[in-house]
A = this chain, B = another copy of it.
Amino acid sequence: MRWVRFSESGAFKYGLLQGQTIQEVSGDPFAGYQLLNKLYDFSAVKLEVPVVPRTFYCAGLNYAEHALEAARKAGREANLPPKADIGYRANNALIAHDEYVVIPPDAGEKVHYEGELVVVIGKRASHLTEENALSCVLGYTIGNDVSERDWQRADRTLWRAKNSDTFKPMGPWIETDFEIEGARTIVRVNGRVTTEFKTADMIFNCAKFISEMTRYLTLWPGDVIWMGTDGASPNLNDGDLVEVEITGLGVLRNRFIRDKKNA
């Protein structure tokens, strides 16, 4: 099933997508729902982020090549994470499919994409094992962990480097039937492929992260876990269109524009 969240006349709604048609539901995919006799054309609705999480988790470095690349650029030894320590991102930064990433006027040139698989939690969960970890998962979506690299190096936290408003595109939907084996993450800038990697090539996979996390914390319905990225991004410029595709899941598309107001 493919869950979409959309808005109409200021109200937020959930629906199930089949082909190009959305069937609205009452309720939501987390607390329960009933199908309604209301149909919408997918291309006619305003898509919203598929969920605003209670807690927004992010794995950070979780693919070997990306970690090595980051180390090379910083002129230091590669520092592969020895264990699955989860990190965080911030809800203020979330935007939906087709919304604009607005680069702040004082950002440097090194604004980069990071295409990521996103796990969407469906059930409250704690103390899961690696074997039953995925039992709490509702489905998967796509995230673009937009990053300003000068701020990432200079600031004490990742607040504006990764959490400036609009820096966290997520969507377009939640796919409940996604199979990670064989999936590829493909990023295109203005139609040209700039990054491609096997989605499953993680240092710590989804089940490992969930089992480690739930030793100490409770996952709640609607929580999301961004699973990290591989490879490197070119510098993104005003007007660039970035598409993050995960095969079998969908395409998350956002245009980048530079805020020139106070430039």
Contact = CB atoms under 8 A, between A and B. Distances in A.
Interface string A65-100: 000000000000000010101111011110000000
- Stoichiometry (number of copies): 2
Contact of A87 (B60, B93, B159, B220): B159
Contacts of A218: 92, 165
A160 B217 contact: yes
A85 B157 contact: yes
Give the interface size class of chain A.
Answer: 20 to 34
A104 B156 CA distance: 28
Say whether chain A's binding surface is mostly helix, strand, loop, or mixed.
Answer: loop
A215 B86 CA distance: 27
A54 B157 contact: no
Contacts of A219: 92
A217 B163 contact: yes
A223 B83 CA distance: 31
Interface in A88-134: 88, 90-93, 104, 126
Contacts of A159: 85-88, 213, 216-217
Interface in A35-71: 52, 54-55, 60
B85 A88 contact: no
Contacts of A160: 215-217
25 contacts: A54-B91, A54-B92, A55-B90, A55-B91, A55-B92, A81-B156, A83-B155, A83-B156, A85-B156, A85-B159, A86-B157, A87-B156, A87-B157, A90-B217, A91-B220, A92-B219, A92-B220, A92-B223, A104-B216, A159-B213, A159-B217, A160-B215, A163-B216, A164-B216, A164-B217
